[in-house]
């Protein structure tokens, strides 16, 4: 008799940063179109904020995070995970090394985010890309976007230093509201250079720009937390089930009901 506790368990390698991992779990739940608890995705989160800084390791010869990443993967394997999601873009600079040491599929956040962008109807044009110094230097998003026919706009070194990097640091320090202005200023600058959409290619950046305020920006926002969550939903339910992001999440539907009620007086 099969063990009734055996399941298609999602392993989440988090802690990079810890708030981003927690929000990924929240968005995974909010984006799943089900009606009862038992239909949601079984998941286990390994949140280890001790993982050394990924950009510092890649660009400045800092401590290697790979042993810590592999340690987390090992614990998720021991917990019974059948696939792994890593809500940290910079950690994917070690994707090949991680994938080669586990039998489990690792959902790729860059591919998932660009998939989500295209699923939102953005099929061509110039895409703004924001992320950590390491992610930008290794051009993970630029390469993926260009392979699909897009062109890219990226922050200048001055814009990285003045807007993008400080915004990421503010979120990591739990000063999330203060990260809004520098994040939006960087988005606006990319927009003025012709970007028709922007990729928030660091999982701190989606926290800086709440979903309810994104329509004010006037361009599509590809959120790497939501993109990875959508990929996890597709993995769990199979390709026949569209993630709720393709329609509308619960927060958007609630706000629309409120606005309709107000309009009707």
DSSP one-letter string for 91-102:
GGGGHHHHHTT-
Q: Are 83 and 10 in contact (CB under 8 A)?
A: yes
Co-location of 149 and 233 in the same domain: no
Residues 6+ apart with CB under 8 A from 112: 224, 227, 228, 230, 231
What is the predicted pLDDT for the residue at 4?
A: 81
Q: What percent of the chain has pLDDT over 70?
A: 89
Task: Say whether pLDDT at 191 is over 60.
Answer: yes
* Span 149-166, average pLDDT: 98
* Span 236-263, average pLDDT: 45
In a domain, 53, yes or no: yes
What is the predicted pLDDT for the residue at 116?
A: 96
DSSP label at 15?
-
Question: pLDDT band at 187, cuts 50/70/90?
Answer: very high
Task: Say whether pLDDT at 257 is over 80.
Answer: no
Instruction: Tell me which residue range forms the domain holding 80.
Output: 9-108+227-251
In a domain, 257, yes or no: no
What is the predicted pLDDT for the residue at 52?
A: 98
* Span 106-135, average pLDDT: 97
Task: Say whether pLDDT at 94 is over 70.
Answer: yes
* Span 49-65, average pLDDT: 97
What is the predicted pLDDT for the residue at 58?
A: 95
In a domain, 217, yes or no: yes
The angle that helices 224-237 and 18-30 make with each other, rounded to 10 degrees, is 50
Question: Could you tell me whether strands 151-153 and 9-14 are parallel, antiparallel, or unpaired per DSSP bridges?
Answer: unpaired
Give the residue from 160, 157, 180 showing the smallest Cα distance to 170. Answer: 180
Task: Say whether pLDDT at 242 is over 80.
Answer: no
Co-location of 17 and 90 in the same domain: yes
Q: What is the mean pLDDT of the chain?
A: 91
* Span 183-198, average pLDDT: 98
Q: Are 55 and 93 in contact (CB under 8 A)?
A: no
* Span 11-22, average pLDDT: 98
What is the predicted pLDDT for the residue at 141?
A: 98
What span, in angstroms and rounded, lies between the C-alpha atoms of 245 and 194? Answer: 26
Task: Say whether pLDDT at 251 is over 50.
Answer: no
Co-location of 80 and 150 in the same domain: no
Co-location of 150 and 78 in the same domain: no
Task: Say whether pLDDT at 240 is over 50.
Answer: no
- Global pTM? 0.89
Question: Could you tell me whether strands 197-200 and 151-153 are parallel, antiparallel, or unpaired per DSSP bridges?
Answer: unpaired
In a domain, 260, yes or no: no
Cross-strand bridge partners of residue 44: 11
pLDDT tens-place string over residues 133-156: 999 999 999 999 999 999 999 999
Co-location of 234 and 179 in the same domain: no
What is the predicted pLDDT for the residue at 3?
A: 79
Length of the chain counted residue by residue = 265
Co-location of 101 and 80 in the same domain: yes
Task: Say whether pLDDT at 196 is over 60.
Answer: yes
pLDDT tens-place string over residues 222-234: 999 999 999 999 9
């Amino acid at each position: 008799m099969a063990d009734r506790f055996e399941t298609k368990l999602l392993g989440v390698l988090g802690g990079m940063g810890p708030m981003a991992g927690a929000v990924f779990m929240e968005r995974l739940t909010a984006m799943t179109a089900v009606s009862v608890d038992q239909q949601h995705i079984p998941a286990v989160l390994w949140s280890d904020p001790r993982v050394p800084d990924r950009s510092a390791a890649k660009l400045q010869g800092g401590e290697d995070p790979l042993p810590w990443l592999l340690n987390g993967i090992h614990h998720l394997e021991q917990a019974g995970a059948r696939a792994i999601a890593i809500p940290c873009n910079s950690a994917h600079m070690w994707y090949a090394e991680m994938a080669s040491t586990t039998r489990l599929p690792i959902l790729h956040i860059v591919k998932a985010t660009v998939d989500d962008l295209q699923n939102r109807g953005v099929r061509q044009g110039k895409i703004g890309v924001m992320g950590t110094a390491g992610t930008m230097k290794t051009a993970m998003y630029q390469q993926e976007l260009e392979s699909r026919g897009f062109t890219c706009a990226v922050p200048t070194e001055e814009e990285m230093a003045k807007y993008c990097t400080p915004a990421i640091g503010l979120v990591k320090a739990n000063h999330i509201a203060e990260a809004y202005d520098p994040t939006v200023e960087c988005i606006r600058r990319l927009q003025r250079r012709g970007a028709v959409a922007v990729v928030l290619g660091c999982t701190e950046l989606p926290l800086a720009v709440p979903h309810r305020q994104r329509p004010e920006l006037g361009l599509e926002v590809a959120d790497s937390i939501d993109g990875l969550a959508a990929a996890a939903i597709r993995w769990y339910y199979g390709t026949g089930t569209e993630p709720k992001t393709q329609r509308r999440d619960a927060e958007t539907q609630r706000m629309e009901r409120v606005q309709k009620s107000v309009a009707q007086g």
